[in-house]
């Protein structure tokens, strides 16, 4: 469903070379960056192009502020026009502002129906080094992404932007060529995740998710195992069964296995294909966004695709607990007591705290197989969104080394992650009255209580982490019409996996 922009890396040229030997490919637009109060980053461009850039800036009172842009046409071979985009103050540039600059450039190219463009990057810390190169290559590769297969205009007016040639800072071209493959693989995983998460619930039910997992397994050479309702009952996986009881679309657990060497890493992703809240029905406002409650499952599938594309030497095990949380005569109720995999009983206080029940079964199974590390990703709590907004995810882990590694990987991948506490008091608050545990606690610290609940289903495994991605997994509808899944977490975890095996 997705289409990545073709990206190539070209070497910067010297201004004393004639235009014919510039090395720049033919394009409709050359994009040049400019820091506020500085001259455009055009020193390495052909002399005639550089003069055009400088004249355009001089004539338009251009200062290089963020979101400021000036254009000039009639440049001639090898480019037809130049566009100078402001970066703001050099001292204030960080990875997020660099990503936003890339997005603004791409949006301008798309708005003007540009098919081929050249982007000359500025020379600064945010464009140098392998992490920066991967982030930029990934961002630009995703420039063509749109979830538009249900729109008539997508067939009549397709996106024209197909090719971007990237001019890295001096001396960085070989590094960018090396990291292009990584960035493209991560971009493919991100786009795959977005497509899955954006798909509507009348299409993307548990069976549909199973089929997408099977297709990935076939393409990537993974083993696939599916545990249906009867076997879920035989195995005592009462959490997945309880959540799916009210739906006409049966729940299931999908397990994928990839790789024959290296450390074993288990990935668990929450896959509630639609969440009404069950008997504890959600209010109507923003209920349409509950199709994104499967984002954890979509993310771990996207990670699996990227890992296979990169052929990382790792044993990856992916677990997808899949269910639709609906209210009907068969639905589970507040006050019910269920038993999850491994035998722990849970008193249901609220049927809208359903994700942790699916994860309890899946995490207990994953931990039983004794991986070297277990990572779980889920859109688990609104409380984490209250704490961190849509800007970052919450991280919970009892292992300092694992937590530090994930935080470093988030920084390299350009994704925000914040560690939150797993204090013993939170576990105590989740003790049940008539069962071992209850699925909700008090009013305060809801994200922490949910993480404490999950900590009871990893057995003796210490090297595990829970990532609450409820905030950054999707852009809310009030964000100027750009609502949709982000693919958050794919870059973060792939960066961590690469560091694990490097």
The DSSP secondary-structure symbol of 459 reads T
Which of 16-25, 73-82, 213-222 reaches the highest mean pLDDT? Answer: 213-222
Alpha carbons 277 and 299: distance in angstroms, whole number: 22
pLDDT tens column, 21-35? 456 777 889 999 999
The angle, 0 to 180 degrees and rounded to 10, between the axes of the packed helices 295-310 and 173-198 is 150
Q: In this structure, are strands 223-227 and 252-258 parallel, antiparallel, or unpaired?
A: antiparallel
Asked if residue 362 lies in contact with residue 375, where contact means CB atoms within 8 angstroms, the answer is no
pLDDT tens column, 201-222? 999 999 999 999 999 999 999 9
Give the pLDDT band (50/70/90) at residue 14: very low
pLDDT tens column, 353-370? 999 999 999 999 999 999
The residue from 188, 356, 438, 498 that is catalytic is 356
Angle at the Cα of 457 from the Cα atoms of 455 and 462, rounded to 5 degrees: 55
- Topology given in CATH for the domain delimited by 6-171: 3.40.220
pLDDT tens column, 275-285? 999 999 999 98
Task: Report pLDDT for 158.
Answer: 66
Distances (CA, A) of 235 to 225, 326, 371: 14, 23, 20
For the domain with range 193-501, which CATH number is right: 3.40.50.300, 1.10.3720.10, 3.60.15.10, 3.40.630.10?
3.40.630.10
Tokens of 475: 């852009």
Least confident of 80-84, 173-177, 299-303, 412-416: 80-84
Question: What is the rounded average pLDDT of the residues 99-126?
Answer: 92
13: left (phi over 0), alpha (psi -120 to 50) or beta: beta
The residue from 282, 333, 339, 419 that is catalytic is 282
Structural domain boundaries in the chain: 6-171, 193-501
**Is 282 known to be catalytic?**
yes
pLDDT tens column, 421-442? 999 999 999 999 999 999 999 8
Asked if residue 350 lies in contact with residue 357, where contact means CB atoms within 8 angstroms, the answer is no
**Is 97 known to be catalytic?**
no
Q: Under DSSP, is residue 316 helix (H, G, I), strand (E, B) or coil?
A: strand
Alpha carbons 452 and 384: distance in angstroms, whole number: 14
Angle at the Cα of 222 from the Cα atoms of 454 and 255, rounded to 5 degrees: 25
Peptide bond into 302 cis (omega under 30): no
Comparing CA positions, the residue from 371, 369, 331 lying closest to residue 350 is 331
Across the beta sheet with 69-73, the strand order is: 6-9, 163-167, 116-120, 29-35, 81-88, 69-73
DSSP 226-277: EE-HHHHHHHT-HHHHHHHTTSSS--EEEEEEE-SSS-EEEEEE-EEEEE--
Task: Report pLDDT for 15.
Answer: 42
């Amino acid at each position: 469903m997705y289409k990545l922009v073709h990206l190539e890396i070209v070497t910067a040229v010297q201004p004393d070379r004639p235009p014919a030997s510039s090395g720049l490919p033919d394009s409709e637009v050359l994009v040049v960056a400019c820091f506020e109060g500085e001259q455009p980053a055009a020193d390495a461009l052909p002399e005639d192009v550089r003069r055009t850039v400088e004249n355009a800036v001089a004539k338009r009172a251009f200062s290089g502020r963020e979101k400021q842009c000036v254009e000039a046409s009639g440049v001639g071979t090898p480019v037809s026009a130049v566009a100078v985009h402001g970066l703001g103050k050099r001292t204030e540039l960080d990875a997020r502002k660099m990503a936003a600059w890339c997005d603004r450039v791409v949006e301008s190219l798309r708005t003007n129906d540009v098919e081929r463009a050249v982007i000359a990057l500025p020379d600064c810390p945010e464009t140098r080094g392998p992490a920066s190169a991967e982030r930029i290559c990934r961002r630009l590769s995703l420039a063509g992404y749109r979830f538009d297969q249900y729109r008539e205009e997508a067939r009549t007016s397709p996106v024209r932007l197909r090719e971007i040639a990237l001019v890295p800072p001096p001396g960085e071209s070989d590094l960018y060529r090396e990291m292009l493959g990584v960035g493209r693989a991560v971009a493919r995983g991100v786009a795959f995740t977005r497509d899955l998460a954006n798909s509507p619930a009348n299409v993307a039910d548990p069976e549909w998710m199973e089929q997408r997992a099977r297709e990935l397994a076939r393409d990537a050479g993974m083993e696939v195992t599916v545990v249906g309702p009867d076997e879920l009952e035989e195995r005592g996986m009462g959490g997945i069964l309880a959540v799916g009881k009210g739906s006409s679309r049966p729940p299931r657990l999908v397990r994928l296995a990839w790789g024959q060497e290296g450390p074993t890493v288990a990935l668990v992703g929450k896959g509630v294909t639609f969440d009404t809240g069950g008997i504890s029905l959600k209010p109507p406002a923003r209920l349409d966004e509950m199709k994104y409650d499967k984002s954890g499952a979509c993310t771990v599938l996207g990670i699996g695709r990227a890992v296979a594309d990169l052929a990382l030497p790792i044993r990856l095990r992916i677990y997808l607990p899949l269910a639709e949380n609906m209210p009907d005569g068969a639905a589970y109720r507040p006050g019910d007591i269920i038993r999850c995999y491994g035998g722990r009983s849970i008193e249901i206080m609220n049927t809208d705290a359903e994700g942790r029940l699916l994860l309890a079964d899946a995490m207990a199974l994953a931990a039983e197989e004794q991986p070297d590390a277990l990572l779980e990703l889920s859109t688990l709590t609104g409380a984490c969104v209250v704490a961190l907004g849509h800007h970052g995810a919450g991280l919970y882990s009892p292992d300092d080394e694992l937590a530090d590694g994930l935080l470093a990987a988030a920084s390299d991948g350009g994704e925000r992650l914040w560690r939150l506490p797993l204090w013993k008091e939170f576990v105590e608050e989740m003790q049940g009255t008539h069962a071992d545990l209850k699925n909700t606690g008090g009013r305060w610290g809801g994200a922490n209580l949910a993480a404490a609940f999950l900590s009871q289903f990893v057995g003796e495994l210490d090297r595990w982490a829970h990532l609450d991605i409820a905030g950054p997994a999707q852009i809310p509808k009030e964000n100027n019409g750009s609502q949709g899944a982000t693919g958050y977490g794919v870059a973060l975890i792939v960066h961590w996996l690469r560091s694990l095996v490097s």
